[in-house]
Amino acid sequence: MLSEKMEKAFNEQLKWEFYSAYLYLSMAAYFDSVNLPGFSKWMKAQAIEESMHAMKFYNFINERGGRVILQEIDQPPTDWESPLAVMEFALAHEQEVTKKINNLMELAQQEKDHASQIFLQWFVTEQVEEEDSFGSIVAQMRLVKDSPEALFMIDRELSSRNIDFTALSGEVQ
Ligand code: FEO
């Protein structure tokens, strides 16, 4: 059984994961508006993966006898001054998500909730990957600065991203 504190914190994180999906879809819309279809596809895939993260929290709350309470999701930003500014914003967002996951882990430790700690371990590992993938794109973009040719090449490379549905296995019941 989830403690009241854990239930509240997991519901809050569920909201943040959906906010992340919303934010990345807003970024996809921005990239569509500046004719960068590869960046847009990458962000759409990211948005879908964030929804899968949210569903992991949804199902875990239920499995542990908690109650899912959906909260209001804020409107995400819609405009950025450049493609690089978008990716920097996204990286900073992921760093914030990592902090939230770490705080959840600390709470689970305080509550002596071992099942939640095991559940959260998946997210700890996932955040390392998330920061790494956003971080490498930002690094590449900083390296090439404002070169349109290089941006076009990165766009082509990003268009090869496929959605990783493994996070969802067993999550939609
Ligand atoms: Fe679900 Fe990108 O953190």
Task: Name the residue with the closest Cα to ligand 1, atom 1.
Answer: 50
Report the C-alpha gap between 107 and 99 in whole angstroms. Answer: 12
**C-alpha of residue 97 to centroid of ligand 1, in Å:** 6
Name the residue ranges covered by the structural domains of the chain. Answer: 4-158
Question: What is this structure's pTM?
Answer: 0.94
Whether the predicted pLDDT of 172 surpasses 60? no
Report the C-alpha gap between 74 and 93 in whole angstroms. Answer: 14
101 within 8 A of 51, measured Cβ to Cβ: no
Q: How confident is the model at residue 170 (pLDDT cuts 50, 70, 90)?
A: low
Q: Taking CA 39 as the corner, what is the angle to CA 36 and CA 45, rounded to the nearest 5 degrees?
A: 135
**C-alpha of residue 162 to centroid of ligand 1, in Å:** 16
Could you tell me the fold of the domain covering 4-158? Ferritin (1.20.1260)
For the CA of 101, the closest atom of ligand 1 is 3
Q: How confident is the model at residue 171 (pLDDT cuts 50, 70, 90)?
A: low
Whether the predicted pLDDT of 168 surpasses 70? no
**C-alpha of residue 93 to centroid of ligand 1, in Å:** 9
Whether the predicted pLDDT of 119 surpasses 70? yes
Task: Note the pLDDT tens digit of each residue in 151-166.
Answer: 999 999 999 988 777 7
